[in-house]
Amino acid sequence: MIYATRRFEFSAAHRYWRSDWSAEENERVFGPCAYPYGHGHNYTLDVTITGDLDPRTGMVMNMTELKALVSEVLEEFDHKHLNEDTPYFCEQLPTTENIVRVLWRLIAARLPHTARLARLRLYETSDLWAEYDGAEETTFARMYAFSAAHRLHSPLLSDKENLAIYGKCNNPNGHGHTYTLEVTVAGPVDPETGMVIDLTAMDRTVRSVLDRLDYRHLDREIAAFATQPSTAENIVIYLWQELAPRFEGRLRHLKLWETRKNVFEYTGPGAALPHTRHNR
Ligand SMILES: [Zn+2]
Ligand SMILES: [Zn+2]
């Protein structure tokens, strides 16, 4: 299968507010997103299409044609207040999950029969996105940071071997990183909140796990790394083991940046990355 992606941007205001809930309930669930006049974002939309290659053009679809078609859809959203100026959010909240599903419907309907929409990923900010591929589940991800010291040193290796394998990372007093963790969950969108997961609860859950590592020396202060080296591989597996039971089957993917150049992903024991699993 061949996939082609084009990126789009639009800016819009929105507000999370259910008129059938009390002000207290709205504020409790939606926080500042419930403020009376709304706020806004610069959204980024990645549109991925798939289909057979046209042997004459060597393309699935002319990207210029895709650009025109998606831009026409986004005109209704760009520089608008999503609740007030579009017809799509009277019955549902303009959450990232709901917006991406509305966009799916509008874009899929306009594609020529030779191309098929494979997925849409909508970034509300650079560290929060929702993805939809036409299935029952919607995917939602958010990034978190924590800072920790560590030393790469394996009790199963001699001091000489440790130094040879880990080099600078074997420094006896340790070194450290600001780690970035992307947590991806998936599930049906709650019709009341328009969310796959209560964002406040998700933040609380992830922070409760990360705060134990934050500003600590992993090898010296975290029991899990007293007996195994604190490689990013072991850290991301440790985080999965801590987070998965708290997400009740919704955790899909963890992505850990040790530095901007070293990235480690884990999808749980035995599971392949989503794009491999769905063969897309
Ligand atoms: Zn917002
Ligand atoms: Zn390191």
Residues 176 and 130 in one domain: no
pLDDT (tens digit per residue) in 129-144: 999 999 999 999 999 9
* Mean pLDDT taken over the chain: 95
Residues 25 and 117 in one domain: yes
From the CA of 257, which ligand is nearest? 2
Answer left, alpha or beta for residue 79, where phi above 0 means left and psi between -120 and 50 means alpha.
left
> Could you say which of 134, 150, 180 is where a domain stops?
134
pLDDT (tens digit per residue) in 86-111: 999 999 999 999 999 999 999 999 99
Q: From the CA of 278, how far away is ligand 2's center (Å)?
A: 33
Output the domain CATH number for residue 11: 3.30.479.10
Residues 188 and 200 in one domain: yes
Q: From the CA of 33, how far away is ligand 1's center (Å)?
A: 6
pLDDT exceeds cutoff 60 at 77: yes
In which band, very low, low, confident or very high, does the pLDDT at 274 lie, cut at 50, 70 and 90? low
pLDDT the model gives residue 96: 98
Residues 110 and 157 in one domain: no
Residues 81 and 144 in one domain: no
Q: From the CA of 54, how far away is ligand 1's center (Å)?
A: 40
| CA 146 to mean position of chain CA atoms | 17
Q: From the CA of 155, how far away is ligand 2's center (Å)?
A: 17
pLDDT exceeds cutoff 50 at 277: no
pLDDT the model gives residue 214: 98
* CA–CA separation, 96 and 181 (whole Å): 20
pLDDT the model gives residue 270: 77
Q: How many domains does the chain have?
A: 2
Residues 30 and 93 in one domain: yes
237 within 8 A of 266, measured Cβ to Cβ: yes
Identify which of 124, 278, 117 has the alpha carbon closest to the alpha carbon of residue 195: 124
Residues 144 and 120 in one domain: no
From the CA of 123, which ligand is nearest? 1
> Could you say which of 88, 112, 134 is where a domain stops?
134
pLDDT the model gives residue 273: 65
pLDDT the model gives residue 246: 96
| Interval 153-164 mean pLDDT | 96
| Interval 43-69 mean pLDDT | 96
Q: From the CA of 92, how far away is ligand 1's center (Å)?
A: 14
pLDDT (tens digit per residue) in 166-220: 999 999 999 999 999 999 999 999 999 999 999 989 999 999 999 999 999 999 9
From the CA of 34, which ligand is nearest? 1
Q: From the CA of 224, how far away is ligand 2's center (Å)?
A: 16
Q: From the CA of 144, how far away is ligand 1's center (Å)?
A: 17
Residues 148 and 274 in one domain: yes
Burial annotation 53-67 (CB, 10 A radius, 16+ → b, else e): eeeeeebbbeeeebe
Residues 158 and 87 in one domain: no
Q: Which domain range does residue 34 map to?
A: 1-134
**How big is the CA angle at 233 (ends 232 and 234), to the nearest 5 degrees?**
90
pLDDT the model gives residue 228: 95
* CA–CA separation, 171 and 179 (whole Å): 19
Q: How many CB atoms sit inside 10 A of residue 16's CB?
A: 23
Residues 120 and 143 in one domain: no
Residues 47 and 168 in one domain: no
From the CA of 40, which ligand is nearest? 1
pLDDT the model gives residue 280: 34
pLDDT exceeds cutoff 90 at 232: yes
pLDDT the model gives residue 276: 45
pLDDT exceeds cutoff 70 at 279: no
Residues 151 and 186 in one domain: yes
Q: From the CA of 166, how far away is ligand 2's center (Å)?
A: 9
> Could you say which of 83, 118, 134 is where a domain stops?
134
